[in-house]
């Protein structure tokens, strides 16, 4: 191997959504960073849906942004349709989603990376790790060059031993049009990692010129699109519509007729697929009584005719794909530009990771994204950000940044992965978070900006504008608690309109805002200046006041759990020698090697009594 002349602090392998955040975070935090990927023209490429956000995923994007990551800004600049989902539901489950211009998204991210100081980008395939004394010290590449680095972040996505399936035809590929990564996962297995196999799938890309959009139902974006990034005030670019179409009985018959040539049903695919993103053949087989399935026909960008039919992923043979897509009303003449396919790939069991995303097998090695068994751009980006941050902190000799389950969805996801592992593609849901009301999209900056600034990731100007917002919220909350409406000042009309006739005592503005249907707009009748506050501040006032009781209750629960979460388990403890623990619990603890008592308590089969025995044993050690 030829050894490259520079010695890096952080080497990031893979330029998907995880890799981009990892590389930017490390370089922005001052680390000399090398970014290696198989194809520099496929940086931040969206392998599947051209969209960012959605339920729980929008939360992740806001958290990435609050900490100083790039995904939110990138979609704000390149989005073509923005919507807030669940606006009629409570604030905890409201979520932002945007269609992206796929090529613009990729190009802008590449540009941002290229402009970043301390960041070198190179197109190479990594085939193995270079080790020194059980710690990683660099990577070896297919071209025969060794790159040295103090830390390495692996973000290989769906590429390791990637195998593409279209019907009974299959061939190696990292994703359609991209080469697979061969050799790296075998090397990881030799190093002691548990390598498994997963699968995912994507729909065909269709030629929009051959679709009769007049027969489909249009769906428009929000009139006042709201940015993802806390550093953006508005979205200026025009929005484009999506269209809704449906399968029918004929489509389902065609799909059934092809099942004997489906790699899934013929038993050729061994990897487990995403339960929550089933293929169209799965839906037809699993729900035989459903007479139609909906699809959103989403544009892939402004400058292309390609469209993406969401929810229509399949690995059925191409002749079945032709017939089935053409059986949909409005798509009778449709031409397929890129066929649908499934892909199998290698991942590494995430229980072999610390909560910092450093591996337990090799020091200074971090894993992030789909390599950890997750699915989705946002899940990948969030892990990439944390791995990049923690690699940079390691180089500085600082403690890692680990977010708790009560602090961020990112914390929930990483804790789930490292304590429970996963045998099927893991995606984020709001239901995975036990403190949902604390982890809202709207307060991600209030939860995380300070942490981003403390580690040197968030730039000064964003920190100062955040401080202004936070001070304004706190000051106005205090004001609303103190300021009162008296019956005499209110006047009869107001008392009647607000259902307060007969009111004897003064009522605070806070009490008024606590009423379910009462908004800042209503309060403006007696406090007009409230409408001069930024919308994001008014939202905070309403949410924090209306949900105060519930929020306080969750905060109490967090406090009760804090003792377990904060108690670290010594790395060298021998679980098998703790008397009083059942052999089953001893074995589970020895296999998962939890970092804290909180993590230990979430391992399936570890009982509260087991946790008590463990903490007694820890105290006895002193
Ligand atoms: P990727 O985006 O896959 O990027 C991996 C990067 O690593 C690439 O740049 C690659 O070139 C590079 N790389 C890999 N190995 C090496 C190496 N040895 N040396 C150098 N570079 C290397 N997600 C959903 O949420 N819903 C879906 O329905 C869905 N469907 C999908 C369907 C398909 C067919 C595919 C391919 C993916 C799908 N995804 C879906 C997953 C989504 O694309 C990923 O979760 C996300 O892109 C993962 O990001 P990542 O950064 O981990 O990896």
Centre of ligand 1 from the C-alpha of residue 159, in Å: 7
Residues 6+ apart with CB under 8 A from 489: 526
Output the residue whose Cα is nearest ligand 1's atom 7: 14
Q: Is the CB of 184 under 6 A from ligand 1?
A: yes
Quick: pLDDT tens for 406-434.
999 999 999 999 999 998 999 999 999 99
Q: Which atom of ligand 1 is nearest to the CA of 20?
A: 51
Between 492 and 69, the higher pLDDT residue: 69
**pLDDT at residue 270, rounded to an integer:** 80
The residue whose CB lies within 8 Å of the most ligand 1 atoms, and thus the one to mutate among 178, 195, 375, is 375
pLDDT at 347: 98
The arithmetic mean of pLDDT across residues 304-308, rounded, is 98
Whether 272 has a pLDDT exceeding 90, the answer reads: no
Q: State in Å: Cα 44 to ligand 1 middle.
A: 9
Residue 487 has pLDDT above 90, yes or no: no
Does any ligand 1 atom lie closer than 6 A to the CB of residue 36? yes
Whether 551 has a pLDDT exceeding 80, the answer reads yes
Has residue 123 got a pLDDT over 80? yes
Average pLDDT over residues 31-53: 97
- Best mutation site among 11, 12, 13, 14 for ligand 1 pocket (most ligand atoms within 8 Å of CB): 14
Burial of 160 (0-12, 13-18, 19+ CB in 10 A): buried
Ligand 1 centroid distance, CA of 97 (Å): 20
Is residue 141 lining ligand 1, measured as CB closer than 6 Å? no
Q: Tell me: is residue 53 an annotated ligand-binding position.
A: no
CA atoms in the 13 A half-sphere facing the CB of 43: 30
Do 33 and 12 contact (CB within 8 A), yes or no? yes
The pLDDT of residue 378 is 98
Q: Confidence band (pLDDT; 50, 70, 90) for 146?
A: very high
Choose which residue among 54, 156, 177 to substitute to test ligand 1 binding: the one with the highest number of ligand atoms within 8 A of its C-beta: 156
- Cβ of residue 372 lying under 6 Å from some atom of ligand 1: no
- Residue by residue, DSSP assigns 515-530 as STT--HHHHTTT-GGG
Measured in Å, residue 125 CA sits from the centre of ligand 1 at 15
Residue 580 has pLDDT above 90, yes or no: no
Which letter, b or e, does each residue of 368-403 get, where b requires 16 or more Cβ atoms within 10 Å of its Cβ? bbbbbbbbbbbbbbbbbbbbbbbbbbbbeeeebbbb
Q: Which residue has the tokens 């008014």?
A: 538
Q: ipTM of this model?
A: 0.98
> Is 276 annotated as belonging to a binding site?
yes
Ligand 1: centre distance to CA 377 (Å): 8
**Per-residue pLDDT band at 559 (split at 50, 70, 90):** very high
Cβ–ligand 1 contact at 314 (below 6 Å): no
Closest CA to 345 of 267, 262, 416, 269: 269
- pLDDT at position 277 is 81
Binning pLDDT at 50, 70 and 90, where does residue 619 land? Answer: confident
Strands (E), 209-314: 217-219, 242-246, 294-299, 306-309
The yes-or-no verdict on residue 490 having pLDDT over 80 is no
Q: How far is the centre of ligand 1, averaged over its atoms, from the C-alpha of 16 (Å)?
A: 6
pLDDT band at 341 (very low <50, low <70, confident <90, very high): very high
Give the rounded percent of residues in the chain with a pLDDT score beyond 90. 85
Q: Residue with the nearest Cα to atom 5 of ligand 1?
A: 157
Q: Is the CB of 380 under 6 A from ligand 1?
A: yes
CA gap 587, 331 in Å, rounded: 56
**88 pLDDT band (50/70/90 cuts)?**
confident
Residue 277: C-alpha distances to residues 71, 158, 375 (Å): 22, 16, 10
State what percent of residues in the chain have pLDDT above 70: 100
The mean pLDDT of 162-187, rounded to a whole number, is 96
Across 119-136, average pLDDT: 96
Q: Is 375 in the pocket of ligand 1 (CB under 6 A)?
A: yes
Report the nearest-CA residue for atom 3 of ligand 1: 157
Query: Ligand 1 in contact with 221 (CB < 6 A)?
Result: no
278 is in an annotated binding site: yes
| pLDDT confidence of residue 563 | 87
Residue 579 pLDDT grade (very low, low, confident, very high; cuts 50, 70, 90): confident
pLDDT at 312: 96
User: Model confidence over 16-37: pLDDT tens digits?
Assistant: 999 999 999 999 999 999 999 9
Is 12 marked as binding a ligand?
Answer: no
Amino acid 276: pLDDT: 77
Q: Which atom in ligand 1 lies closest to the alpha carbon of residue 39?
A: 11
Rounded mean pLDDT, 615-619: 89
In short, whether 376's Cβ falls inside 6 Å of ligand 1 is yes
Q: Is 507 exposed, middle or buried (0-12, 13-18, 19+ CB in 10 A)?
A: middle
Q: What is the mean pLDDT of residues 221-250?
A: 96
**pLDDT at residue 256, as a whole number:** 96
Q: What is the 513 CA–ligand 1 centroid distance (Å)?
A: 46
157 is in an annotated binding site: no
Q: Taking the chain, what is the end-to-end CA distance rounded to the nearest angstrom?
A: 48
77 is in an annotated binding site: no
Tell whether the model's pLDDT for residue 536 goes beyond 90. Answer: yes
Distances (CA, A) of 278 to 199, 259, 539: 11, 15, 36
**383 in contact with ligand 1, CB cutoff 6 A:** no
Q: What's the mean per-residue pLDDT of the chain?
A: 95
Is 284 one of the annotated binding-site residues? Answer: yes
Instruction: Say what the pLDDT of residue 229 is.
Output: 98
Q: What is the mean pLDDT of residues 239-256?
A: 97
Per-residue pLDDT at 478:
97
Q: How far apart are CA 379 and CA 419, in angstroms?
A: 17
Task: Tell me which residue has tokens 């007969």.
Answer: 502
- Please tell me the distance between residue 45's alpha carbon and the centre of ligand 1 in angstroms: 8
Q: Is the CB of 166 under 6 A from ligand 1?
A: no
Residue 287's contacts (CB-CB under 8 Å, 6 or more residues apart) are: none
């Amino acid at each position: 191997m030829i050894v490259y002349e520079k010695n890096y602090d952080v080497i990031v392998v893979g330029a998907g959504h995880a890799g981009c955040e990892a590389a930017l975070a490390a370089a922005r935090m001052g680390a000399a960073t090398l970014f290696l990927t198989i194809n520099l023209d496929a940086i931040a490429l969206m392998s599947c849906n051209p969209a960012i956000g959605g339920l729980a995923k929008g939360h992740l994007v806001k958290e990435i942004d609050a900490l100083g990551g790039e995904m939110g800004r990138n979609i704000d600049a390149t989005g073509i349709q923005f919507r807030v989902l669940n606006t009629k539901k409570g604030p905890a489950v409201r979520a932002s989603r945007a269609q992206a211009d796929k090529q613009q998204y990729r190009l802008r991210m590449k540009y941002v990376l290229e402009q970043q100081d301390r960041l070198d980008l190179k197109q190479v395939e990594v085939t193995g790790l270079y080790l020194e004394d059980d710690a990683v010290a660099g990577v070896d590449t297919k071209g025969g060059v060794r790159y040295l680095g103090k830390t390495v972040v692996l973000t290989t996505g769906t590429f390791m031993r990637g195998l593409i399936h279209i019907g009974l035809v299959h061939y190696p590929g990292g994703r359609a049009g991209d080469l697979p990564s061969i050799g790296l996962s075998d090397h990881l297995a030799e190093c002691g990692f548990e390598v498994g196999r997963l699968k995912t799938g994507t729909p065909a890309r269709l030629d929009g010129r051959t679709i009769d959009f007049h027969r489909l139902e249009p769906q428009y974006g929000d009139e006042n699109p709201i940015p993802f990034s806390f550093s953006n005030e508005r979205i200026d670019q025009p929005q484009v519509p999506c269209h809704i179409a449906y399968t029918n009985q004929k489509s389902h018959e065609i799909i059934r007729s092809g099942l004997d040539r489906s790699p899934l049903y013929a038993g050729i695919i061994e990897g487990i697929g995403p339960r929550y993103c089933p293929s169209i053949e799965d839906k037809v087989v699993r729900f035989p009584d459903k007479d139609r399935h909906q699809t959103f026909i989403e544009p892939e960008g402004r400058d292309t005719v390609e469209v993406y039919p969401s929810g229509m992923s399949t690995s059925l043979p191409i002749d079945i794909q032709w017939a089935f897509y053409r059986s949909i009303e409005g798509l009778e003449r449709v031409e397929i530009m890129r066929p649908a396919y499934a892909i199998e790939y290698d991942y590494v069991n995430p229980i072999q990771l610390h909560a910092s995303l450093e591996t337990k097998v090799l020091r200074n090695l971090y894993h992030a994204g789909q390599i950890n068994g997750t699915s989705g751009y946002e899940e990948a980006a969030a892990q990439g950000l944390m791995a990049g941050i923690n690699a940079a902190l390691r180089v500085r000799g600082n403690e890692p940044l680990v977010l708790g389950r009560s602090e961020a969805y990112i914390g929930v996801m990483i804790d789930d992965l490292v304590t429970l592992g996963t045998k099927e593609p893991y995606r984020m849901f709001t239901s995975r978070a036990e403190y949902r009301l604390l982890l809202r999209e709207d307060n991600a900056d209030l939860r995380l900006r300070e942490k981003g600034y403390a580690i040197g990731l968030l730039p000064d100007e964003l920190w100062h504008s955040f401080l202004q917002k936070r001070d304004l919220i706190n000051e106005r909350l205090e004001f609303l608690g103190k300021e009162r409406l008296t019956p005499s000042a209110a006047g009869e009309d107001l008392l009647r309109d607000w259902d307060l006739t007969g009111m004897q005592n003064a009522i605070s503005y806070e009490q008024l805002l606590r009423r379910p249907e009462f908004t800042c707009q209503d309060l403006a009748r007696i406090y007009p200046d409230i409408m001069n506050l930024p919308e994001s501040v008014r939202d905070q006032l309403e949410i924090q006041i209306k949900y105060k009781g519930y929020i306080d209750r969750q905060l109490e629960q967090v406090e009760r759990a804090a003792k377990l979460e904060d108690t670290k388990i010594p790395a060298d403890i021998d679980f098998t020698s703790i008397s009083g623990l059942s052999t089953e619990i001893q074995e589970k603890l020895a296999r998962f090697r939890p970092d804290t008592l909180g993590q230990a308590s979430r391992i399936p089969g570890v009982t509260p009594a087991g946790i008590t025995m463990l903490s007694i044993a820890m105290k006895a050690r002193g």
